[in-house]
Each structure stands twice: as C-alpha cells, then as structure tokens.
Chains A and B, each alone.
Chain A
Amino acid sequence: MSAQSLKKTTATWIIVIMTLFITAIIFGILMRLNQGNDYKMSSPGFYATMTTHGLTMIAIWSVAGMVAINYLLTRYIKVPNSLSVFALVFTVIGAAMLWYATFVGQFHAGWTFLYPLPLVKIAWAKWATPLFFFSLVVLGVGWLVWSVGLLVQILKKYSLKQAFAWQHLSKKEPEVKTPPLILISTVSLIGIILSLIVAVILLALTFAEYYSGGAFVNDSLLMKNLIYFFGHTIANESLYLGLAALYELMPEVSSRPKFKTTWYVALAWNCTMVFILTAFFHHLYMDFVQPLGLQMVGQLASYFASLPAAGVTAFSVFVLVFRNHIKWSLTNVLFFIGIMGWLIGGVGALIDATISNNVALHNTLWVPAHFHTYNAMGNVLFCLAFFYWVANEFSGSQTKTKAQQLKTALLLIGGFGFVLMFYLAGADSVPRRFSNYPAEFKSAPLMATLGAVFATIYLIAILLIFIEILRKCVKAFSAS
C-alpha cells in the first residue's frame, strides 16, 4: 500500500468524522435547549434527533479508533488500504440511510431501538423501520470486514499467543516482544468482531419477526440481552482503540521512551478482553426475569473489566508525566485530559453498575452523564489527539500553535461543565429520554439550559481544533 493513499484515506475519514461530529453536537445542543424550554421541538422531532445523535456518535467514534489503529499499525504490519476504503464507503452509505430513516421517515426509537417498539404500533413512516435496520446492516458489514481484515494482518506477523502477549506473562524479556498497540488492537478487534456477530444475530431475529407477519415473535429478554451485548461491548471496545493510539503516541510526542508491554500490562488487557463480554448484564438489573446469578456477574464483570486496564494505563501515564520534563503539545494534552475524562466517566459508570446504586440511578440523567464523560471527554479526545498528530504528519510540522491554551481551556470548561449538568440532574433523579420535563422536576430545565451553554463552549473548542486539522489534512491530498 502506498503511504500516500493511506494518508488520503485517513484524511478523508477525519473530515467525514469531524463533519458528522460537529453536526451531531449541534443536535445534542438543540435537544438540551428543548429540555430547557429555550427552543421548541415536536416530540417525534426530539426523539428522531436523539436517535440520530446517539447512533451517529457511536458509529463515528467506533470508526475513529479504527482509523487511528489502521494508520498506526502500518508501523508494525502491512495494512491494505482497500479495507479502510471499503469501510469508509459503507459507513457513508449506512449513515445516509440512517439519517434518511430518522429525519425523513421520522424513525425515533432510540439508538438501542427499544425492542419491540419498532415492530409494534409504529408512529413513523412504515418504510423507515426496515430502512433503519438495513442501515445498521450496511454499517455492520463495513466494520466487520475491516475488523476481520486488520486481525488477519496482525496474525500474519504475530501468532495468536504473541498478539495476546502471553509470552510476557512468563518471561521478563521474551524473544518476541509484543508492542502495546498490537496487544490492545488485537483485544479490541476481537471484542468488536464479537459485538458485530451479536449484531448479525440480533438483526436476523429482528428481520425474521418483521417479515414473518406474526408467525414468529422474539423473546423480549433475549432481544434486550442481545442489544446490550452488542451496544455495550462495541462502545467500550471503541474506547480501547483510542487507548491503543495513546499507548503508541503519547510517549513519542512527549519525547519519552515508548511504553513497553510488561506482564501486568499483558495480564490487564487479557482480563479486560474476557470480562468486558459479560459486563453488559448491568444493563438488565431491572429485568427481574433475568437470573440473579447473571445480575451478579454483571456487577462483578463491570469492576473486573475496567479496573485492570484503567489501573495500568493511569499508572503508565502518571509515571510518564510525573517529575519528567514533558514537551506539551495539543496531542499529549488531549491524551492527558482524555485519561482524566475516561477515569471520571469510568467511576461514574461503576457507581451506576453497582446494583444498590442502580436502584436509584437507573434511567436517570446519571446514565448519559457517565457515558458522555468517557466519550466526549475520553475517547473523543484520544481520537482527536491522533487526528491532530496525523494532520501534523501530513503538513510536516508538529509546531505548537498560539491558540492551544484557549482551545484546551474551552474544552475543559465546556466539556466538564456539560457533563456536570448531567451528573447533578441524575443525582436529583431527573429521568433520561424525556423531551420535556414535568413540572415536578423543578431543576431539570435550568440544568438542561446550562448544559446547552457548556456544550456550545465545547463545540467552539472542537470547531477551532477542526479548522486547524482540516487545514493540515487538505495537504494530504495535494502532496505528491
């Protein structure tokens, strides 16, 4: 693969992702303004926007991590550009189908589509239901082919044991050393492949019911398990791809020695791979027919999946920056803030994943609080750090810009202020997924308005960063 075609494809991905991201942020701000009674949306309009916002964000930040590792893996293995191009085409087509289903067809069942809602008492255009599900098929096919393709390329150079870094568990200095990027990419790609296979089964069952004319009905408990097996797993694995980019780039841009795979890094990421697969059970605490044993597995796996990876990563980053002279640029600043966001959001998630707390916090704004923290202030920043770094690679300069402090300040104030409003509302039992709040929730509209204001500050920071990245990405197309 030529380096030039890789650069062009990566630059195209970045422009597509950032454009969709900015649009989806605007959707989010409009929804918060509507909840704050500052802007009027119809209820179907609100929920169609919520569906588009949720699925677009999940989709673009899943592939953003893939774009990052696709580029960085070329340091260790051969990566055919065709895989990335294939996924790009399918992602654009899938996103267009999704937006058409939601904005034209008014499909508004949420990104987890709340089975059996889309199949009964349809409150939108009839064709929008199959179009929504077919958009998921198109997105899923593109990503599945890409993920399997990348995994094949890794296994062409590293054996499965080496890709999992098992040799590091028994030997301090093994003959073949597995770079952290290979280890985390392998673990995450397997998780993504698994979640996409879950999606295949989920969609097959959905289509079977939809086209059977009532002859076949799915089991609600099975469908909810499958939806969260897919949704929770892919959301987490995407975040790990962002961390893979951090392990590869943060020491490099900080002019420090590269992170190495040690026994505890290998062990932590292998544990994460296993435990993340059962953590999704914490989404079903309120489903009393789910056996109690699975609920307990959900709580324990939530802790075991997150703590090892978070522990070793936070420790590694702390050692990297503590009492060391670091050459700070926007890239490692974004990585550093991203770690903070990931850890804060992770603690919020664990609080919610603890059964005794979930009784109070379930389906309150605490839920969007924690996932916006580790996405908007975690995974997004990891990927933005990569975008910023790679854009500098395209332009041939890694210079520090004047507005860097302004961008950082806007990101911190806007991002953490925005999620703080969610946390406060969640702690005050304000429910999620309400287009307008009943009068009983007195504080909710004010917090929604403030949330929109902070989100606008965050948007300004993202726009400033995007303009700079865009200017540099364009050079990837013009360079020979």
Chain B
Amino acid sequence: MCKGLFSLLILFLFYTNVQAQSEYNFSEEENINAKIADVQLNTSDGGMMLSNLYNTSPILVALVFSRCTGICSPFLLQLSDNIRTLNSKEKFKVLVVSFDPIDSLSDLEDMDNRLGLNKKGQWTFATTKQIDALNSSVGFRPIWDSLRKQFDHDALLVGINENGYIAKKLTGLRGISDLKMMIQSIHNEFIPSYPLPRKNNLLSCFTYDPATGKRKPSIGLLILVLPVVLTFGLILWLAIRSKKWRRATNNHLAD
C-alpha cells in the first residue's frame, strides 16, 4: 500500500516536473517589430545616438554588466565564438550595452580586454544614462538582488534591422542556427514561422514541443483523411445496396 502511494507520489512529482519543463516562455515574442529606443550612447568613439549605429548597418544588441558573476561572460564568449564559426558574409555590428547604472565605459573596455572580443572592430561597447528606456523598449527586466549584489537577468540578444526595428530576440545561450536566423532577420530576409498550438486550437496538424524541438503528426492530419474514409464508406454502402436494386430490377424484368 505504502509502496503504491510512494510510486504515485514519485509519478506525480515527475509529471509536474515535466510539465514545468515543457512550459514555453513567450518573452522572445515581446516587442517584436517595435522600434528600439533611440538612446544617447557613450562609446569609445564618443557620444552618439543608437540610430547612428543601426542606420549604417543592422546591429545585435547584447545587454550585460561588468560586475556580473553569472551568465554575462559565457554569453558574450559564446556569441563571439558563434559569430566566428558562422563567418557570415552579411554586414552587421555587435553593440554591448551595460544595464548597470554604475558601470563606466572603462569597466566595459576592461571586460572586452579580458574576454578578447573585439579583435576585428565589429564590436562596440557602450553605457547609457537612458538605460530604463532602452530596457523597456526591448522588453528586458533585470532585477537587483541586494543580497548577492547582482542583477537577476536573462542573457538577451536583440536583433535590430537598419530601420531600428526589433527583428528578433534570443534569450539564453543559443546555438549557431539561432544566430544565423537572427542575422537573416535583421537583414529583412523571410524567416518561416508557424503559430504554436493554442488551447483553443483543437485540430492542429502537428504538435510541436519547443523544449525538444520535436514535431509530431496530430489529429488535424486525420481530418484530411476523413473525407476519403467517408466517401469510401458511402461508395461501399451503395455498392452493397445496389446488388439488391439490380436483383429487384432483374426480377421485375423477368416477371
């Protein structure tokens, strides 16, 4: 009895854990196609508006802070590695902006030297006094943790096209394929997309699990087969019935 209850409890915990894992966060869809705030930046090349950067070429905006002991360094290092591996022929720049108000430009330059990111001059490091406006325009919400003296935040990369519109957002450490799609997006290339199944969408053709990326046939495809089955059934029924009709006709003729 106790063993059974224990098994049920384990199963329940496992199920809720799976459920939690498969929940999809829609933050990447937030503010897509909205214009990024045209804030004043402080860079090593002097003060400039953000629009000065995206007007010359599309940009990838990475939001970090120099005191970060968490995701920031791995995030920037992986981004740098992916850009190098991808070796895209498309023209774009990477803008790293600190969202920590106490960061100075030299703090960011130290970070760059430490990580060795800007070898080809493709990267720009900047601080801004209008960080709240910038954060709000891209849907980024860092939370200050006074105990750890750290920001609790996502690793967010925002793709901006030449008109200053947010073309794509990537949260977390992402692979090369996602970066490639982002670069295509900021160059206004068509990226296929398909609405995810919703609760009120009962007859979708496929189910898609964003956690695993797997796509499975769903009940919608059966609906496509239904008319064939119904017609086949109708014809079969008529064929069976028609034997009687023909027999009746023949008997009638014989009489």
Produce 1/0 per residue, A443-455, CB < 8 A to B.
0000000000000
The answer on a CB contact under 8 Å between A214 and B227 is no
- Contact between A197 and B231 (Cβ–Cβ < 8 Å)? yes
Residues in A with CB closer than 8 Å to B203 are 205, 218-219, 222
B246 within 8 Å of A by Cβ? yes
Which listed residue (A152, A216, A222, A289) contacts B200, Cβ 8 A? A216
Which A residues touch B195, using CB under 8 A? 220
Q: Which of B224, B234, B238 contacts A222 (CB 8 A)?
A: B224
Interface string of A172-189 (1 = CB under 8 A from B): 000000000000000000
The answer to whether A190 and B235 have CB atoms under 8 Å apart is yes
List A residues 217-244 near B (Cβ within 8 Å). Answer: 217-222, 225-226, 229
| Nearest A residue (CB) for B192 | A288
CA distance A220 to B197 in the complex (A): 11
A156 with B246: CB separation less than 8 A:
yes
A152 in complex: contacting residue of B194, B224, B227, B238, CB < 8 Å: B238
Chain A residues closer than 8 Å to B228, beta-carbon distance: 194, 277
Please tell me if B245 contacts chain A, counting CB pairs below 8 Å. Answer: yes
The residues in B between 44 and 72 inclusive whose CB is less than 8 angstroms from any CB of A are none
In the complex, B149 has a CB within 8 A of chain A: no
B242 touches A289 (CB 8 A): no
A349 on interface, CB distance cutoff 8 Å: no
Inter-chain contact B230/A160, CB cutoff 8 Å: no
Q: How far does the alpha carbon of A148 sit from the alpha carbon of B233 in the complex, in Å? A: 13
Known contacts A193-B234, A194-B227, A277-B228, A219 near B204 by CB under 8 Å: yes
Residue pair A157, B198 in contact (C-beta under 8 Å):
no
Given contact pairs A194-B231, A219-B205, A289 touches B238 in the complex (Cβ within 8 A): no
Question: Cβ of A271 < 8 Å from any Cβ of B?
Answer: no
CB distance from B39 to the nearest CB of A (A): 34
Q: Nearest Cβ in chain A — how far from B193, in angstroms?
A: 9
Question: Is A92 located at the chain interface by the 8 A CB criterion?
Answer: no
Considering the complex, give the chain A residue whose CB is closest to the CB of B201. A217
CB neighbors of B among A192-228 (8 A): 193-194, 197-198, 201, 205, 212, 214-222, 225-226
Judging by beta carbons under 8 Å apart, are A155 and B227 in contact? no
Q: How far is the CA of A212 from the CA of B200 in the complex (A)?
A: 10
Closest A residue, CB atoms, query B202: A216
Contacts of B201 in A (CB 8 A): 217-219
Contact with B along A129-161 (1 / 0, CB 8 A): 000000000000000000010011001110110
* B-chain residues with CB within 8 Å of residue A277 when the two chains form the complex: 228
Question: Does B206 interact with chain A (Cβ within 8 Å)?
Answer: yes
**Structural contact, A160 and B242, CB atoms closer than 8 A:** yes
Smallest distance from the beta carbon of A117 to chain B beta carbons, Å?
15
Q: Is the CB–CB distance between A159 and B243 below 8 Å?
A: yes
Specify which chain A residues have a CB less than 8 angstroms from the CB of B245 in the assembled complex.
155-156
Given known A159-B243, A217-B200, contact A222–B205 (CB-CB < 8 A): yes
Interface residue? B220 (CB, 8 A): yes
In the bound complex, residues from chain B placing their C-beta under 8 Å from that of A197 are 227, 230-231
Interface string of B208-226 (1 = CB under 8 A from A): 0000000000001101101
Contact A215 B194 (CB under 8 A): no
Q: How many residues of B contact A (CB 8 A)?
A: 30
In the bound complex, what is the Cα–Cα distance between A198 and B228 (angstroms)?
9
Q: List which A95-138 residues lie within 8 A (CB) of chain B.
A: none
Q: How far is the CB of B183 from chain A (nearest CB, A)?
A: 19
Are the CB atoms of A159 and B239 closer together than 8 Å?
yes
Find out whether the CB atom of A152 lies under 8 angstroms from the CB atom of B230.
Answer: no
Docked CA distance A221–B219 (Å):
12
| CB nearest to B234 among chain A residues | A193
Find out whether the CB atom of B227 lies under 8 angstroms from the CB atom of A198.
Answer: yes
Most chain B C-beta atoms within 10 Å of own C-beta, residue among A159, A190, A197, A277 = A197
Q: Is B249 an interface residue (CB 8 A)?
A: yes
Q: Complex Cα distance A205/B227, Å?
A: 13
In the bound complex, CA of A194 to CA of B231 (Å) = 6
Contacts of A190 in B (CB 8 A): 231, 235
Asked if A229 and B249 sit within 8 Å, CB to CB, the answer is: no
Contact status of A155 and B238, CB under 8 A, knowing A197-B230, A217-B201, A222-B204: yes
Task: Point out which of B221, B223, B246 has the most chain A C-beta atoms below 10 A from its C-beta.
Answer: B223
Contacts of A216 in B (CB 8 A): 200, 202
Shortest CB-to-CB span from A202 to chain B, Å, is 9
B234-253 CB mask vs A (1 if < 8 Å, else 0) is 11001101110110010000
Query: Are B227's CB and A201's CB within 8 A?
Result: yes
Contact of A289 among B206, B226, B234, B243 (CB under 8 A): B206
**Nearest residue, chain B, Cβ from A157:** B246
**Hey, which chain A residues are within 8 Å of B205, CB to CB?**
219, 221-222, 225, 289
Chain B residues with CB under 8 A of A218: 201, 203
CA separation between A198 and B224, bound complex, in Å?
Answer: 8
* Chain B hits for A198, CB < 8 A: 227
A220 to B195, CA, bound (A): 9
Complex Cα–Cα for A152 and B240 (A):
11
Closest to A225 in B: B224
Q: How far is the CA of A231 from the CA of B201 in the complex (A)?
A: 24
Contact with A along B60-97 (1 / 0, CB 8 A): 00000000000000000000000000000000000000
Residue of A nearest to B222 (CB): A222
**Given A155-B242, A219-B203, A226-B231 contact (CB < 8 Å):** no
How far, in Å, is A206 (CB) from chain B's closest CB? Answer: 12
Give the shortest distance, in Å, between B209 (CB) and chain A (any CB). 15
Residues on A with beta carbons closer than 8 Å to the beta carbon of B202: 216
**Are A229 and B243 interface neighbours, CB within 8 A?**
no
19 further contact pairs, Cβ within 8 A, besides A148-B234, A156-B246, A222-B203: A151-B235, A155-B242, A156-B242, A160-B235, A160-B242, A190-B231, A194-B231, A198-B227, A201-B226, A216-B200, A217-B200, A219-B201, A219-B204, A225-B205, A226-B224, A229-B224, A288-B192, A288-B194, A289-B192
Q: Can you spell out 13 A-B residue pairs with CB atoms less than 8 angstroms apart? A: A151-B235, A151-B238, A156-B242, A159-B242, A193-B231, A194-B227, A198-B227, A205-B223, A214-B200, A219-B204, A219-B220, A222-B223, A226-B224
- Can you list the 9 inter-chain pairs with the closest CB atoms, starting with the nearest? A155-B242, A160-B239, A222-B220, A194-B231, A219-B204, A197-B227, A198-B227, A288-B192, A156-B245
